[in-house]
Structure 1
């Protein structure tokens, strides 16, 4: 069997995966370990801190500006997540959920999308149900090893260090909508 590949900035990917990425209309993301490096910083006064990468933010903005929806589904509850996602223009923010597949299904129904039109990115066991159902399931480079085995694609970038941007670039590249000019760091 002759497997054709497409060369990207992030390495070669199969033509089959590239074609599947071209159908994506919604990206469903976990937060901790995807948008952040997975660490949670707690201060003496109970304050919680997370670090988000501006490259991931620019990737989200590029998706939204191209008409591709972005949703976040996370098991934790954090005001920081609301602030960051709202600043990026994400309106589908689901926190404190233990039933990620239920939220995924609700999003698919709300936007009238079949699984092949949805990509999902997650780094740990609770995310696998979404990765397995999505048309394209993605795991960051430093995701749990079993999660990586369940994914259709493992990013070359780590969670919190550009994994979301990599996925957004590949989607937009596959759809012929990747813009290499303009914008501001977000």
Structure 2
């Protein structure tokens, strides 16, 4: 693991996730009923719950609006979420001001150019392998796992590892 990434991860108090392409594989399924369906990874969900238990706050900032995102946020302990956001930097700035955080205390995980403004402002910018090369080149960290296939869990564990909380969060699962 790159030492710069670990040093950045040590400072993180808030992780902000995009949804499509990060928490999902980026596919959009819209049924005949007009409803939007998304598939989330259960291991990502557990990683998010463990990260929250370790003391790191989480948020979602997404351009789309969907009831399933609200349900996912509630089930994983995401306290702050913004949907239907056209300018993600505006939402990012509002959120860190509200939480009285400095940009370097935040991580932003996105997968496309619309995510770049907050990714360029935060302390730890993260993307996925399917992101455009221009996004990958500007991110501090590119996950080994794909969006919707464990990338979020990878990031949660990376931050907990850097903050020396991973072992404590995992310990209950390895006791007989």
With structure 1 as the length reference, what TM-score do the two structures score?
0.89
Aligned partner of 1:53 in structure 2 is: 41
Aligned to 1:182: 172
d(CA) in 2 for partners of 1:40 and 1:181?
A: 37
1-structure distance, mates of 2:79, 2:12? 18
Q: Residue 143 of structure 1 contacts residue 159 of structure 1 at CA under 8 Å; is this kept in 2?
A: no
Please state if 1:28 is matched with 2:20.
Answer: no
Q: Could you tell me how far 1:47 is from its partner in structure 2? A: 2.2
User: Comparing 143-152 with 164-173, which one deviates more in the overlay?
Assistant: 143-152
- Report Cα offsets for 1:71-121 as digits up to 9, x if no partner: 000000000100111111212110001010011111111111111110100
| Aligned: 1:107 with 2:95 | yes
When the two structures are superposed, what TM-score results if normalisation uses the length of structure 2?
0.94
Stretch of structure 1 that moved more, 135-144 or 70-79: 135-144
The equivalent residue for 1:148 is 136
Which blocks of at least 5 consecutive residues in structure 2 are unaligned?
A: none
Q: How do 1:1-186 and structure 2 match up within 5 A? A: 13-178=1-166, 179-182=169-172
The alpha-carbon deviation at position 181 of structure 1 amounts to 3.4
1:176 & 1:87 partners in 2: Cα distance? Answer: 25
Alpha-carbon distance in 1 for matches of 2:78, 2:4: 29
Q: Runs of 5+ in structure 1 lacking a partner?
A: 1-12
Which one has the bigger helix percentage? 2
What is the aligned length?
Answer: 171
Q: Is the 8 A contact 2:57 2:79 kept in 1?
A: no
